[in-house]
């Protein structure tokens, strides 16, 4: 049965990545490793991790990466996003943070970073950093269910995996409906729409990552070096 590992928020920390790779070797039946953005971050020099992601070592589960919020800031500042710059980073953390980010990534990695996609659609799952609305969209258990449903609807997927909030959670939409009354030049009519059975899953960040089996819809939240707190969180 197919199983995926879902990782994000490495922030240039090669050590954490190596720990995760070691841990993945102990798990059986893992087919794919998705790294959902924020490969880079402000705390480390990012070059070693970026090199490792592009050139996996023997035995590594090969990573499939998308860009996240930090990559977006870097790409914008280095002119890969039209007229945009790293405005969000500059406003929140000042110009020094922007300079530090520029210094932490060798320009040799830019072409590869620029080639990364916004997200993956695998089976009926969207694998994203933020949401279908924006790479910086923070989806959490406390987000309005209306917004979560909208983000699922935009990509017409049943499962949306998100990383931006750094939290590990699973939120299932499992009931409800809405009535619509429409009046136009042809007359009036009513529709009822039910809430589709869909889920938003927060995969965690850094040492916190997730394992997912799309066949059984089983999710397992993992922390590096710690046995799972609970098993069987899936609702298959």
Partner 1 sequence: MAHAVISCLHANLAAVEAVLADIDQQGINTITCLGDLVGYGPQPNEVVELMRQRAIPTCQGCWDEDIIDGLNACECSYPSQLAERRGHLAHQWTDAEMTAENKRFLASLPTSLRRDKLLFVHGSPNSQHEYLLPDMNAFAALERVETAGAETLFCGHTHQPYVRELRGGSIRVRVQHNDSSSSEEQDMTLPMRRIVNAGSVGEPRHGNTQATYVIHDEATNDLTIREVSYDVAKTCQAIIDAGLPEVFAWRLSHGFEYAERADDASHVCER
Report the interface residues with partner 1, using CB under 8 A.
82, 133, 141, 144-150, 153-154, 167-185, 191, 193, 195, 204, 208, 221, 229-230, 232-233, 235
Return the closest-CA partner of residue 34 out of 24, 44, 22, 26: 24
Q: Which is nearer to partner 1, 101 or 208 (CB)?
A: 208
Tokens 């090669």 belong to residue: 14
Minimum gap (Å) between residue 51 Cβ and partner 1? 30
Asked if 76 and 69 count as a contact pair (C-beta separation under 8 A), the reply is: no
Q: Which is nearer to partner 1, 110 or 147 (CB)?
A: 147
Minimum gap (Å) between residue 19 Cβ and partner 1? 18
Asked if 6 and 209 count as a contact pair (C-beta separation under 8 A), the reply is: yes
Q: Which is nearer to partner 1, 49 or 126 (CB)?
A: 126
Minimum gap (Å) between residue 194 Cβ and partner 1? 10
Minimum gap (Å) between residue 181 Cβ and partner 1? 4
Residue 195, CA distances (Å) to 121, 147, 172, 198 in order = 21, 13, 11, 8
Q: Which is nearer to partner 1, 56 or 196 (CB)?
A: 196
Asked if 80 and 111 count as a contact pair (C-beta separation under 8 A), the reply is: no
């Amino acid at each position: 049965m197919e199983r995926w590992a879902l990782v994000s928020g490495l922030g240039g920390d090669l050590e954490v990545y190596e720990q995760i790779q070691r841990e993945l070797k102990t798990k059986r039946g893992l087919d794919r490793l998705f790294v959902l953005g924020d490969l880079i971050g402000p705390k480390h020099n990012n070059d070693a991790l970026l090199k490792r992601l592009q050139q996996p070592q023997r035995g590594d589960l090969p990573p499939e990466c998308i860009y996240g919020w930090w990559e977006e800031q870097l790409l914008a500042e280095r002119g890969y996003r039209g007229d945009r710059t790293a405005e969000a980073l500059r406003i929140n953390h000042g110009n020094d943070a922007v300079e530090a980010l520029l210094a932490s990534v060798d320009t040799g990695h830019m072409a590869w970073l620029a080639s990364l996609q916004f997200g993956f659609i695998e089976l009926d799952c969207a694998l994203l950093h933020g949401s279908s609305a924006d790479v910086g969209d923070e989806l959490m258990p406390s987000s309005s269910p209306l917004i979560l449903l909208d983000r699922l609807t935009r990509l017409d997927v049943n499962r949306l995996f998100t990383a931006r909030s750094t939290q590990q959670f699973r939120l299932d939409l499992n009931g409800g409906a809405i009535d619509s009354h429409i009046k136009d030049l042809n007359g009036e009519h009513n529709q009822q729409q039910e809430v589709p059975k869909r889920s938003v899953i927060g995969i965690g960040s850094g040492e916190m990552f997730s394992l997912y089996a799309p066949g059984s819809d089983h999710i397992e939240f993992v922390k590096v070096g710690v046995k799972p707190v609970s098993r069987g969180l899936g609702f298959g």
